[in-house]
Structure 1
Amino acid sequence: MRLHRNLCFAVVDGLMLIFNEGQYADKVIQQLLKRDKRWGSRDRAFVAETVYDIVRWKRLYAEIAEVKEPFDRDNIWRLFAVWATLRGIKLPNWSYFESTPTRKIKGRFDELSKIRKFRESIPDWMDELGEKELGKDIWTKEIAALNEQADVVLRVNTLQISKDKLQSELFDLDIETEFMPEYPNALKLKERTNVFQTEQFKNGMFEVQDASSQLVADFLDVEPGMRVVDTCAGAGGKTLHIASLMDNKGQIIALDIYANKLHELKRRAKRNGIFNIETRPIESTKVVKKLYDKADRVLIDAPCSGLGVLKRNPDAKWKLQPEFLDEIKKTQQEILQQYSRIVKPGGKLVYATCSILPSENQKQVEDFLTSELGKEFTFVTDKKVLSHKSGFDGFYMALLKKKD
């Protein structure tokens, strides 16, 4: 591979924003890809994947390069040199790469790879917490899996098209996909490509949604004609899936504290041809109280650490702090206490997170069930999805039923 100056500059500029200004990697990459209209798909892929790679392996590369944060521009070039050397890419004769100790880089990599926190490039506290909650063996496998690049998975909008037909139409566009037996509405891309430019996407025939995330709507056990409340709907990936499982019949009320996310949900619903979703921003406690004892099904896709989705959000490793985890656990229990009251007698509730930590998952459900409000519910079943077993995001979901 030959390195091109303008692409490498884009990578370095992006890393400066992510590491030194705390900007989100996905937003930075979106901006970088608009930088030069002459870039082809290979150029754009190089910029996006190299930025994500260096973000993912920041701690390991910084240790090898012997640089510390905050990184100046020269430090970022040294990280880039480590990335290129470890991939066997010949460094061009540029001033940034003068005196790069190629052999020393490989030796340091071999040495540091024996220590998990460096090998998997994670903060000390996260490594200790993962081992404490999951045990050494599972944590070692899980964090390795979470450092792999995420597959691109589509969820077919069965209101608009069948899975077979969508696969065939994408094949005609040279986009090859494969079926996934355990995920009834999923197609996995064989190679990464920009599917958002296709007419099929623009016409609402599919959404991009990780396979693990697609399990949640099925777990809720919805039927056409029900009243369903999605309490932390966000931009509505799971809401849209629920709507398709309900054949666009019945009522889905999508709640969120962020009105702008609900605007995005409305836009997506229109594109998907879905009209049984009503959005309600939570501007006061009244919004939730009005729904007490009214819903057949309630989904609480709770805010969480996001440790199960590090594949697609590698910068979360560096943004997440232990104090945030303490706070989010309190929030999770408060949400369970408040939103569970929306379930009507005989109705069902799903509590879900994209975390792999039992303290955010099983422990929250246990604490809820032993509380005064929780005594009205019975535990039905739960599902723990670990990335090293599934190959997809880490997830948790628990199904509870409210007594009649």
Structure 2
Amino acid sequence: MKLDLPRETALKILYEVNKSGAYSNIALNKNLEDVKLSNIDKAFITELVYGTLKWQLSIDYIIEKFSSVKIKKLSPWILNILRLGVYQLLYMTKIPESAACNESVNLAKRYGHSASSRYVNAVLRNITRSKDKIEYPDRNKDLSAYLSIRYSHPEWMVKNWLNRFGESFTEELLKCNNENAPLTVRVNTLKTSTEELRDQLEKEGFEPQPAKYVENALIINKPSSITKMRAFEQGLFQVQDESSMIVAQVLNPKPKDLVIDVCSAPGGKATHIAELMQNTGQVIARDVHEHKIKLIEEAAIRLGIGIIKAEVFDAQKEDLKLINKADCVLVDAPCSGLGIIRRKPDIKWTRKEKDLDEIVKLQERILDTSSKYVKPGGVLLYSTCTVEPKENEEMVKKFLQDNRDFELEDISEVLPKDLKKDTAKAGYIQLYPNIDGIDGFFISKMRKRS
């Protein structure tokens, strides 16, 4: 029996993510390096993995409706085979129902036994026959349960957002989190221009278009094998969302500055900062993990940047030799990541409500320690990729209460011209995917009094 290779590959990736705790993007990239896979196969695998992870809660709810066996009693392999099958049946309109069912049964024969394959066949055939009759929680009786199942988000997350944002905004945010995020790249202005890169990408068969806010950025439609592109290998661009690019723009470093990026890996912001500095001065880029330092170094070499000094260093620890030395310090803090769910859907299932308090404590320690490196008159920029106030506005407010030598600075003049935020003059902005069309980010700029 010959198995469908793309579906089997997707199954293995889901197993790594759900059973071994692997990050979806890393597991996906590792498995897609297989040269036997065509670009069409790679795109199909990506859709299967991210789609199944994205809709996992809804899919499990449906499986429970049609299964005689509780999900908790299923082997991880059989459960993920069912999830893949349901995703194809209910969320992929171009996949024939027979193919979704038959290939799932074949996988169950390989990764289970004869009874497993019969069970998978029975569940999927039942769903196929009754998919238009599936009942969801009553919206009017239990709004949070309805939204949780309808949009496949943990109910604790839905409840938090309903309390904070209200029904309409929350539903739009949930809906947006399930959309596919565009692939955005930052033009490496040390080597090329936006126009030149657009022309080269078109010659390579891609469909670039202007980004939403950032001038030196492009959205690439129908991307495939980015790292194999000639323009990528030549260091003409860096993959990065616009929200992340705006961080360096707000920091606004100058040539010859000393900049410290205390939580730098994989180096997108550090390399952007170096470009804005015209590759003069120094950027100290740090991370607590040695293997991530290599990512920063590789990115700097590919982009032709020579001013980045990548170091293994725990941002919670104080480096006495840098006290009051830096023109700019960037604290792109570890966070819950709830602003980038559309890009990393497994965040919904790996992040727990109780995690937030520990994350906040870590952020406080890093921000307090890093602020000591800022010289009088220098800049401290705090950013996260989340939409949680306790990690964002409340964090900055508490820091300023405890550190009277810092004050917020108007950032309205350094934001992209089409990005309007009422809070910019107060020194911070909160970005939302459903409002701004880019990743959910918080950016706050503080200056140390002279």
TM > 0.5 fold call: yes
Shift of the alpha carbon at 1:253?
1.4
Q: AA paired with 1:44?
A: K
Match of 2:430 in 1: 384
Aligned counterparts of 1:106 and 1:20: Cα–Cα separation in 2: 31
SS at match of 2:396: helix
Aligned counterparts of 1:300 and 1:6: Cα–Cα separation in 2: 43
**Relative to structure 1, is the Cα distance of residues 285 and 98 closer, same or farther in structure 2, using a 3 angstrom cutoff?**
closer
Shift of the alpha carbon at 1:30?
2.6
Is the 1:113–1:119 Cα contact (8 Å) retained in structure 2?
no
Aligned counterparts of 2:439 and 2:316: Cα–Cα separation in 1: 32
Q: AA paired with 1:111?
A: Y
Q: AA paired with 1:145?
A: C
Match of 1:68 in 2: 71
Shift of the alpha carbon at 1:375?
0.6
Deviates most, 88-97 or 353-362: 88-97
Pairing of 1:17-28 with structure 2 (within 5 A): 17-28=16-27
Is the 2:280–2:307 Cα contact (8 Å) retained in structure 1?
yes
Aligned counterparts of 1:194 and 1:379: Cα–Cα separation in 2: 42
Query: Deviation string for 1:305-353 (max 9, x for gaps)?
Result: 0111111211111111222211010111111111111111111111000
Q: AA paired with 2:22?
A: Q
Q: AA paired with 1:393?
A: D
Aligned counterparts of 2:408 and 2:170: Cα–Cα separation in 1: 27
For structure 1, which runs of at least 5 residues remain unmatched after alignment? none
**How many percent identity over aligned positions?**
31
Q: Does 1:336 align with 2:361?
A: no
Shift of the alpha carbon at 1:287?
5.9
SS at match of 1:366: helix
Identify which of 73, 77, 81 aligns with 1:77.
81
Is the 1:130–1:357 Cα contact (8 Å) retained in structure 2?
no
Pairing of 1:34-183 with structure 2 (within 5 A): 34-35=33-34, 37-66=35-64, 68-69=71-72, 71-72=74-75, 73-86=77-90, 87-88=92-93, 89=95, 90-92=97-99, 94=102, 95=105, 96=117, 98-99=121-122, 100-101=125-126, 102-108=128-134, 111=136, 115-180=146-211, 182-183=213-214
Shift of the alpha carbon at 1:134?
3.5
Aligned counterparts of 1:31 and 1:270: Cα–Cα separation in 2: 22
Q: AA paired with 2:29?
A: Q
SS at match of 1:196: helix
**Relative to structure 1, is the Cα distance of residues 282 and 28 closer, same or farther in structure 2, using a 3 angstrom cutoff?**
closer
Shift of the alpha carbon at 1:53?
0.5
* TM-score normalised by the chain length of structure 1: 0.93
Aligned counterparts of 1:177 and 1:403: Cα–Cα separation in 2: 43
**Relative to structure 1, is the Cα distance of residues 292 and 123 closer, same or farther in structure 2, using a 3 angstrom cutoff?**
same
Aligned counterparts of 1:111 and 1:181: Cα–Cα separation in 2: 36
Q: AA paired with 2:268?
A: G
Pairing of 1:214-293 with structure 2 (within 5 A): 214-282=245-313, 288-293=319-324
Runs of 4+ in 1 over 4 A off after TM superposition: 283-287
SS at match of 1:399: strand
For structure 2, which runs of at least 5 residues remain unmatched after alignment? 65-69, 106-116, 140-145, 410-426
SS at match of 1:344: strand
Over aligned residue pairs, what C-alpha RMSD do you find? Answer: 2.1
Query: Deviation string for 1:18-74 (max 9, x for gaps)?
Result: 222322222322343245x33211111111210111011111001011152464233
Match of 1:11 in 2: 10
Q: AA paired with 2:448?
A: K
Pairing of 1:174-213 with structure 2 (within 5 A): 174-180=205-211, 182-213=213-244
Q: Does 1:312 align with 2:343?
A: yes
Aligned counterparts of 1:81 and 1:200: Cα–Cα separation in 2: 37
Is the 1:153–1:208 Cα contact (8 Å) retained in structure 2?
yes
Give the length in aligned residue pairs.
398
Match of 2:445 in 1: 399
Aligned counterparts of 2:149 and 2:236: Cα–Cα separation in 1: 42
Aligned counterparts of 2:58 and 2:172: Cα–Cα separation in 1: 18
Is the 2:428–2:443 Cα contact (8 Å) retained in structure 1?
yes
Query: Deviation string for 1:199-223 (max 9, x for gaps)?
Result: 2111111010011111000010211
Aligned counterparts of 1:34 and 1:267: Cα–Cα separation in 2: 18
Aligned counterparts of 2:247 and 2:169: Cα–Cα separation in 1: 23
Is the 1:133–1:357 Cα contact (8 Å) retained in structure 2?
no
